Amino acid sequence: MFVQTHEIRRRFLDHFVRAGHTEVPSASLILADPNLLFVNAGMVQFVPYFLGQQTPPFSTATSVQKCVRTLDIENVGITTRHNTFFQMAGNFSFGDYFKRGAIELAWSLLTKPVADGGYGFDPEKLWVTVYLDDDEAEQIWLALGVPSERIQRRGMADNYWSMGIPGPCGPCSEIYFDRGPEYGRDGGPEADEDRYLEIWNLVFMQNERGEGRGKDNFEILGPLPKKNIDTGMGVERVAFLLQGVDNVYETDLLRPIITKAEELTGKSYGVNHADDVRFRVIADHARSAAMLIADGVNPGNDGRGYVLRRLLRRIVRSARLLGAERPVMAEFVKIVSDLMAPSYPELGTDFRRIENVSVGEETAFLKTLSTGTKLFDETVDEVRTTGGKRISGTDAFTLHDTYGFPIDLTLEMAAEAGLEVDEAGFRELMAEQRQRAKEDAQSRKHAHADLTIYKEFVDRGPTEFTGFDELTSEATVLALIADGVRVPVAQAGQDVEVILDRSPLYAEAGGQIADRGSITAGGLKLRVNDVQKIAKQLWVHKSTVEQGQITEGDAVLAQVDPAWRRGATQGHSGTHMVHAALRQVLGPNAVQAGSMNKPGYLRFDFNWQGQLSEAQKADIEAVSNDAVGADFPVNTFVTDLDKAKKMGAMALFGENYGDEVRVVEIGGPFSMELCGGTHVGHSSQIGPITVLGESSVGSGVRRVEAFVGLDSYQYLAKERALLAGVASALKVPSEEVPGRVEQLVERLKVAEKELERTKVAAVLARAAKYVDDAERVGRVLLVAAAAPEGVGAGDLRTLATDIRGRFGSEPAVVVLLGNADGKVPFVVTVNKSAQELGLKAGDLVGSFGPSIAGRGGGKPEMAQGAGADPAGIPAGLAAVRARVAELAA
């Protein structure tokens, strides 16, 4: 059926391909742009072309770009207009057609009959807006038959587009669809943007903007090198209009997720607003989370990982609030995969990893909810102890921000406990936090790095890399760049970027750091410190002139440091060995999440839930070294991407590959990966691989580190020397060291337990004296004393409990203040008889707490905490005596 969303995006692409555009696949949601957590607009991958920094390989293009925007994440579900994930269909012109072409192409697709490949919108329901002074755009619309009364002029805030930072910008013309009077008032987009829904924005990108904030408070620096077109059509908005439903949540790619949520929770969508918000949160976030994980994002505590973690946790909490009693993420990501895979097949091929990451985060969050519930219960006890009826905004915020406990659950559980929550105070603290985050993000935004100085050389074509076949190459100096400026010559002692026509030095990529080496000629010598790529094809040698001078046009010798390259190839090939071993030991779900290798060392990140056992680590090391000992040949060849994938070659996740790829094969089926790095000729040349250990680098991501080659040997030699030293000290053979150490550890544990028993006995021996010295205050016996120096909180609690028990049924209060390492731990305990007289442990803390700069709390029978001022102990004891006297009277 035509109105399926997949068909809407297909028709868009076909329309522009027929018009001569090159179809460009969606970029990953993650791009190397310091301004963006995620790709949030269709034109992001084309920014260098718009700025004139690179020459595009096509004059016109079309794409459907996956996008994520999370600025309004808290509003998702509350309204039906907010989404975190969306698809932006666009067509782009780089100095080719301009306003007329963009307008005519858009109008044609929207209004063309369905039978002819269009969308079949009624032209009478379409409105357009143009920028205030854009007479040209208005005339084009009039010529297409749009009456003047359906064309509105709007200011810079509405009809002038930029990315919010210095970069390309320009006036725009937006197309709106009139949904009818039942959705709002008459008057066009200026009057009501719910009734008149924007579906397509045509940006006439002709200028470059400067610094400034907001949509209309920035300087126009001047024209771009060429006039360009950037358009964005919201696929989801067009879908719900063509499918005849009220909003995006009713469309074919989101409503089935809500249906699944209804099955899992027993609730129904459309019954009440609060539940509907939760259903929409689940539908939106499940799709966004799956798309982010598919592009290599893993849950974490900052940046992209934190956004994903929030999305996943909002799904889980919404499902629980709807009544789900068991884990839900596996079923949600499965239905998302089924729905979205026709357009994004990676959701199907990589489903197991997506499922593992999402389920792992759900499991962790359910534990967080359990911990948060305990903290919530303690908060409730403190409120009730003081006779309060409301949980403070600060406590609610602490539960949310520090422990990840959702405010929704705090509100619900507080109501069940008969308490209120200072929700206004909580919202104020949340608003302050969001404002700080927004200001921090804005302060880190800056203009796109100016790469125009390299454009001439990027346009010449890629640097010829000779390093697969030789370590020394003759080359010509094409350009010298110092401090961002092109210079004709560089002298001894000067740092300079050198651009050569060809080079044997490897530029950093794929986890392998750049080669070190030299550039020489006659009396000239430069030390090459680093090699980086510009636009993935231009080698830039970051160097220091050590002697002589280098001039543009010089003929030079570029040479790799042989020892460096030997170690680098060992590290990189060793990474492939460890990757293959991981998949043998753990299975195919141990998917690469990143790597770094350098001479003698490698680290490898992979998706996995839970710590590896010692046996697994040993197996990984053994399988790797078996492959080294097998002396497998290392073969490399170039083929097309589809053939490489059919052969089973592993790809680095999140990496964009061209049509042709280089495959590195080690031992046939043992290891086959897409890789542009340098490698050994045979696996035996890697040398021994020693796994140093593994650790967590984020939720669902583990890291293995290892030494290879000579570094591995040197590490093992140090370990052997260390073992020999321990064996000598213990006077046993090396092979008996583990058993001997185990014996010593057990003896130490026994000694520590005996010492603890002695210590406890000594503490309890004081209990009788405290009872004998008890003061009678009114009807209560009071022990208010400073404990011996060095007695910690645990021993204080034991002692106080023992003293309280010795008073039997007679009303008694015990207050003990310690002095340990400059801190003042304290315990207050009140027996049942004293509680019946109105004395509560938590209340008494307030009497002496200020004297010792301390805080604490607890239940009526016991409270504890700590202070920071031991000098205040005498005053604190006097204060608590006075308070007990007041209450006991």
Annotated binding site for Zn(2+): 572, 576, 675, 679
d(CA 549, CA 554): 10
Residue 373 burial by CB count (10 A; 0-12/13-18/19+): exposed, middle or buried? middle
Distance CA 262, CA 247 (A): 18
577 phi and psi angles, rounded to 5 deg = -60, -50
Residue 108, both tokens? 């044609």
Structure tokens at 33: 């742009």
DSSP letter string, 549-617 = -EETT-EEEEEE-HHHHHHHHHHHHHHHHHHHHHHHHH-TT--EEEEEEETTEEEEEEE-SSPPPHHHH
Contact 542, 532 (CB under 8 A): yes
Residues tagged in the binding site annotation: 572, 576, 675, 679
CB 500 within 8 A of CB 585: no
Q: Which two tokens stand for residue 14?
A: 């076909």
- For helices 303-322 and 273-294, the axis angle rounded to 10 degrees is 140
Residue with tokens 């790709």, as numbered in its chain: 39
d(CA 564, CA 575) in angstroms, rounded, equals 17
What letter represents residue 348's amino acid? Answer: G
**CA angle at 837 for the pair 832 and 842, rounded to the nearest 5°:** 70
Place of tokens 């399988």: 623
| Distance from C-alpha of 567 to C-alpha of 685, rounded to nearest angstrom | 10
Asked whether 590 and 619 are in contact (CB, 8 A), the reply is: no
Return the ∠ at Cα 847 (arms to 846 and 852), rounded to 5°: 85
- Separation CA 115–CA 219 (nearest Å): 46
Taking residue 474's Cβ as centre, other Cβ atoms within 10 Å add up to 13
Q: Would you give the DSSP letter of residue 165?
A: S
- Cα–Cα nearest to 889, from 838, 823, 821, 844: 838
Q: ∠321-323-327 over CA atoms, to 5°?
A: 95
Query: Measured between alpha carbons, how far is 176 from 126 in angstroms, rounded to an integer?
Result: 6
Distance CA 768, CA 773 (A): 9
| 85-94 vs 60-68, strand pairing mode | antiparallel
Q: Are 871 and 865 in contact (CB under 8 A)?
A: no
Contact 765, 802 (CB under 8 A): no
- What lies within 8 Å, CB to CB, of 668 at 6+ separation is 632
What tokens does 561 get?
A: 């440091």
